[in-house]
């Protein structure tokens, strides 16, 4: 089955700096890679996702890159703000090709943005 590794487990940056979180996956058939943000005491929420036919996707200050050959993908947050402080999870799946999106998550990165 799929295995997703995520690094680092904690990341502290100064407000305005950039933050990068990296993930690797094991199943070469995986083709869908979302990122979820979980604020303290809240439920996870999707912030951005990418499919295997796309190498990069941006949404304002957030971007995700994918290297299919190396089986790794990364989340980039620019101009970090205190409200970006949260736990971020990467995930991977084969998507709905198998009738359901069996999503496997990484272990999470606690991002702390220091004002």
Partner 1 sequence: NAGVTQTPKFQVLKTGQSMTLQCAQDMNHNSMYWYRQDPGMGLRLIYYSASEGTTDKGEVPNGYNVSRLNKREFSLRLESAAPSQTSVYFCASSDNPPQDRSEKLFFGSGTQLSVL
* Residue 11: burial class (beta carbons within 10 Å; 0-12, 13-18, 19+): middle
Q: Is 61 in the site for partner 1 (CB under 8 A)?
A: no
Segment contacting partner 1 by CB under 8 A, of 13-21, 42-50, 59-67, 73-81: 42-50
Q: What is the spatial distance between Cα 106 and Cα 104, in angstroms, rounded to a whole number?
A: 7
* Phi, psi at 68, each rounded to 5°: -65, -35
Q: What is the spatial distance between Cα 72 and Cα 66, in angstroms, rounded to a whole number?
A: 6
Q: Is 81 in the site for partner 1 (CB under 8 A)?
A: no
The full length of the chain comes to: 115
Q: Is 83 in the site for partner 1 (CB under 8 A)?
A: no
Among 24, 34, 75, 85, binds partner 1 (CB under 8 A): 34
Q: What is the spatial distance between Cα 7 and Cα 22, in angstroms, rounded to a whole number?
A: 5
Segment contacting partner 1 by CB under 8 A, of 12-20, 62-70, 75-83, 106-114: 106-114
Q: Is 100 in the site for partner 1 (CB under 8 A)?
A: yes
- Least Å distance between CB 46 and partner 1? 5
Segment contacting partner 1 by CB under 8 A, of 11-19, 59-67, 75-83, 90-98: 90-98
């Amino acid at each position: 089955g799929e295995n997703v590794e995520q690094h680092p487990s904690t990341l502290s940056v100064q407000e305005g700096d950039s933050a990068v979180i990296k993930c690797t996956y094991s199943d070469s058939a995986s083709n869908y890679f979302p990122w979820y943000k979980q604020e303290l005491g809240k439920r996870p929420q999707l912030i951005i996702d990418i499919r295997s036919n796309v190498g990069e996707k941006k949404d304002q200050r957030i971007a995700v890159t994918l290297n299919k050959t190396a089986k790794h993908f990364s989340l980039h947050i620019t101009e970090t703000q205190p409200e970006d402080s949260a736990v971020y999870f990467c995930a991977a799946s084969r998507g709905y090709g198998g009738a359901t999106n069996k999503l496997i998550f990484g272990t999470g990165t606690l991002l702390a943005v220091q004002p």
